[in-house]
Amino acid sequence: MSSAKIRLTMAQAVVRWLTQQFTDIDGVRVPLFAGVFGIFGHGNVTCFSEALEAAQDRLPTWRGQNEQSMALAAIGFAKGKRRRQLMIAASSIGPGALNMVTAAGTAHANRLPVLLISGDTFTNRLSDPVLQQVEHFGDPTITVNDAFKPVTRYWDRITHPAQILSSLPQAVAAMLDPADCGPAFLALPQDTQELAFDYPEVFFEERTWAIPRLRPDRRKLAEAATLLKTAKKPILISGGGVRYSLAEQAVAEFAVKHGVPIVETIAGKGGLTHYHAAHAGPIGIVGSTSANALAAEADVILAVGTRLQDFTTGSWTAFSPDAKFISINTARFDAVKHRALAVVGDALETVTELDAALGAWRVDPAHMTHAKALFREWDALLDAHQAPTNAAVPSYAQIVHAVNASAGENDTLISAAGGLPGEVAKGWRVKAANTFDLEFGFSCMGYEIAAGWGHAMANSGPGGLGGTPIVMVGDGTYMMMNSDIYSTILSGHKMIVVVCDNGGFAVINRLQQAKGVPGFNNLLVDCRVQNRAGPLHVDFAKHAESMGAAARRCESLADFKSALEWAKSNELTTVLSIASDAYAWVPGDADWDVGVPEVSTRESVQAARKQQEQIRARQRVGV
């Protein structure tokens, strides 16, 4: 091994090492880190930006407008690349860093990789307190960057230049490990960034990373095959892990061969096309009547690549108490939930080996026939809710259908929070695999537009679909975070944004009223305002135009359909706004356990409490 040294500052060494990391996507060797979303400020502008500027031909830096949104864009990019290529989000110290904590939580909950790098205060403390420093009276080693510890898979503060020799490879290994996958965070104190160190030349040699595929334990696999062979009415729950394992085809072929209907989680939706022979619809609280009926009847549930969130399980009311679970997951933590027969392993490898272990076994064909009959009924119900009516204001279902009909085969639908997740999870008919991104692991308002920017970047190059990101948001989410419309204008990455204006936070108003509380502080008409004569609605088209986007305010569903075709023909990011109904929703939901007051003077709340107690009485015991 060479003993040659290279003298660099710590910041320069970090950037140089990052540029030397590669990965393989569909047989093409590409940089592991495709670029940096950065906002420079106190703590990263003098040293880290100096290093990035010198490497911009190998590691391009894109200027964000908000630290949270640029980190969310990095998450959208990782989703678009199915965790095979990553982005970096870099911030200054203090508020810039803290702005990224929400994004870190989003990545952590969704098991998605993003490298977060923030400046930090001086390790020598000679200048304390520095600008933007929050002093902890009882522990001077704590800075705001410690806030990332609960929401990252790997966390480190680099207090000596040599520490990156071990820390950087560990950060990448954590992000690429399917079991531990999530965000990694590095705090770079500004006085450590400036220090020069003689780094071993070999540290900067090119390295090509491969995502490991964990094979299952043979005994557990045999137990799973034995249990599945006892099933009369099994279902397969396909989660996000199926997509990240690139196991969609294997899972689909497994289901067809063995006659097991597939129902999809929110993260798993898009692994199958809508009319695939084994597809029986989305499951859970924002699921379909077909999938939820099959879940209630199931005697064995094969859960693949899912963490079994309450929106999948109906707060564990969706299944028979006697149903048996087989859980295939790379993460032991997820695999052992709810007394499942845990088969820890990669989805593709494990499903392939389980297929071989099952041999020619197949469920009675009547089971799949029954599942497809239920699915046809669900499809007809969707048609009924999505059909045009004479209503003055269209429903979410009608708007979703119009966008779905207009979308190209490789266009990606992106949504995250509010009323739209339920409507797109139910009503979006997937035309091509992996063209659907509904962030509902964290339900992060503000993810949508930022993620659209990330998807637009991910669409090009190996593994990219080449289509246009179509972002669907409510008016509440748009008001919360919209600045990356401007980012796409700056960077030249087109997306289409559809704003459904239903006058506030309509879906949370729905939940509030369903649990007996009068409408309060959610819809704009129910908020405390000083001037009732003033406008309650924002002109979103004019706002988007002020950021350089093409935009149109649509007055009817027919006008909206015409505007969609216009949006597709534009080269710029295009924003379309349309008024939507705040009270019309597609049915199909499973039950949901939420807190309802045990004591209240309101009869409506008392009734809701009794209903909630009935839901809890049906919950499956998880231990």
* DSSP result, 303-366: EES----HHHHTTTTSS-TT-EEEEEES-HHHHTGGG-EEEES-HHHHHHHHHHHHTT----HH
pLDDT digits (tens, 9 = 90+) for 603-618: 999 999 999 999 999 9
Span 56-108, pLDDT tens digits: 999 999 999 999 999 999 999 999 999 999 999 999 999 999 999 999 999 99
In percent, the amount of the chain with pLDDT more than 70 equals 99
Q: Are strands 341-344 and 196-200 parallel, antiparallel or unpaired?
A: unpaired
* pLDDT of 25 higher than 80: yes
Q: For 326-356, write each residue's pLDDT tens digit.
A: 999 999 999 999 899 999 999 999 999 999 9
pLDDT band at 533 (very low <50, low <70, confident <90, very high): low
In this prediction, residue 524 has a pLDDT band, given cuts at 50, 70 and 90, of confident
- CA–centroid distance for 100 within its chain: 15
* Contact present, 268 and 306 (Cβ < 8 Å): yes
- By the 10 Å C-beta count (0-12 exposed, 13-18 middle, 19+ buried), 279 is classed as buried
Per-residue pLDDT at 3:
83
Contact 117, 153 (CB under 8 A): no
Half-sphere exposure of 573 (CA within 13 A, CB side): 31
Direct distance between the N- and C-terminal alpha carbons of the chain, in angstroms, rounded to an integer: 53
Number of H helices, E strands in the chain: 24, 23
Beta pairing class for 184-189 and 235-238: unpaired
In this predicted model, which residue has the larger pLDDT, 75 or 463? 75
pLDDT of residue 532: 65
Report the alpha-carbon distance of residue 501 to residue 260 in Å, rounded.
Answer: 40
Among 197, 581, 317, which residue's Cα sits nearest to residue 423?
Answer: 581
Question: Binning pLDDT at 50, 70 and 90, where does residue 172 land?
Answer: very high
Task: Return the amino acid letter for 286.
Answer: V
pLDDT at 620: 85
pLDDT at position 214: 95
pLDDT band at 432, cuts 50/70/90? very high
Task: Tell me the CA distances in angstroms from 467 to 87, 107, 552, one per residue in order.
Answer: 20, 24, 22
**Is 218-378 in the same CATH topology as 5-209?**
yes
Question: How do the residues of the chain divide into helix, strand and coil, expressed in percent and rounded to 5?
Answer: 40, 20, 40
CB 215 within 8 A of CB 350: yes
Q: Is 287 within 8 Å of 589 (Cβ atoms)?
A: yes
The contacts of residue 42 (CB under 8 Å, 6+ apart) are 92, 93, 94, 119, 130, 131, 132
244 pLDDT above the threshold of 70? yes
CATH number of 5-209: 3.40.50.970
Reading phi first (left if > 0) and then psi (alpha if -120 to 50, else beta), residue 305 is in left
Mean pLDDT, rounded, for 433-460: 96
Amino acid present at 257? K
Q: What is the sign of the dihedral through the CA atoms of 133, 138, 144 and 145? A: positive
Residue 622, pLDDT score: 67
The reported pLDDT for the residue numbered 534 is 61
Q: What band does 47 get if pLDDT is binned at 50, 70 and 90?
A: very high
Q: Give me the pLDDT at residue 464, please.
A: 85
Per-residue pLDDT averaged across 188-202, rounded? 97
- On average, the pLDDT of the chain sits at 95
pLDDT digits (tens, 9 = 90+) for 269-315: 999 999 999 999 999 999 999 999 999 999 999 999 999 999 999 99
Q: How many CB atoms lie within 10 A of CB 525?
A: 13
pLDDT digits over 219-228, tens only? 999 999 999 9
Residue 535 has a pLDDT of 60
Q: For 98-139, write each residue's pLDDT tens digit.
A: 999 999 999 999 999 999 999 999 999 999 999 999 999 999
The torsion angles phi and psi of 415, rounded to 5 degrees, stand at: -155, 175
Q: What is the rounded distance in angstroms from the CA atom of residue 486 to the CA atom of residue 544?
A: 8
Q: For 65-131, give the DSSP string.
A: SSHHHHHHHHHHHHHHTTTSSEEEEEE-STHHHHTTHHHHHHHHHTT---EEEEEE--SS-TTPSPT
At 527 the pLDDT is 87
CA distance 65 to 59: 19
Dihedral (CA of 603, 604, 605, 606) sign? positive
Least confident range of 372-376, 526-530, 532-536: 532-536
- Tell me which amino acid residue 260 is: V
Write the single-letter amino acid at 130.
Answer: V
What 3 state SS string does 251-281 have?
Answer: HHHHHHHHCCCEEECCCCCCCCCCCCCCEEE
Q: Is the pLDDT of residue 46 over 90?
A: yes
Q: What pLDDT does residue 1 have?
A: 60
387-579: CATH architecture = 3-Layer(aba) Sandwich (3.40)
Pick the CATH number of 218-378 from 3.40.50.720, 3.90.870.10, 3.40.50.1220, 1.20.140.10: 3.40.50.1220
Angle at the Cα of 464 from the Cα atoms of 460 and 470, rounded to 5 degrees: 85
pLDDT(364) > 90: yes
Bridge partner list, 319: none
pLDDT of residue 126: 92
Question: What confidence score (pLDDT) does residue 623 get?
Answer: 53
pLDDT digits (tens, 9 = 90+) for 542-574: 999 999 999 999 999 999 999 999 999 999 999
Domains of the chain by residue range: 5-209, 218-378, 387-579
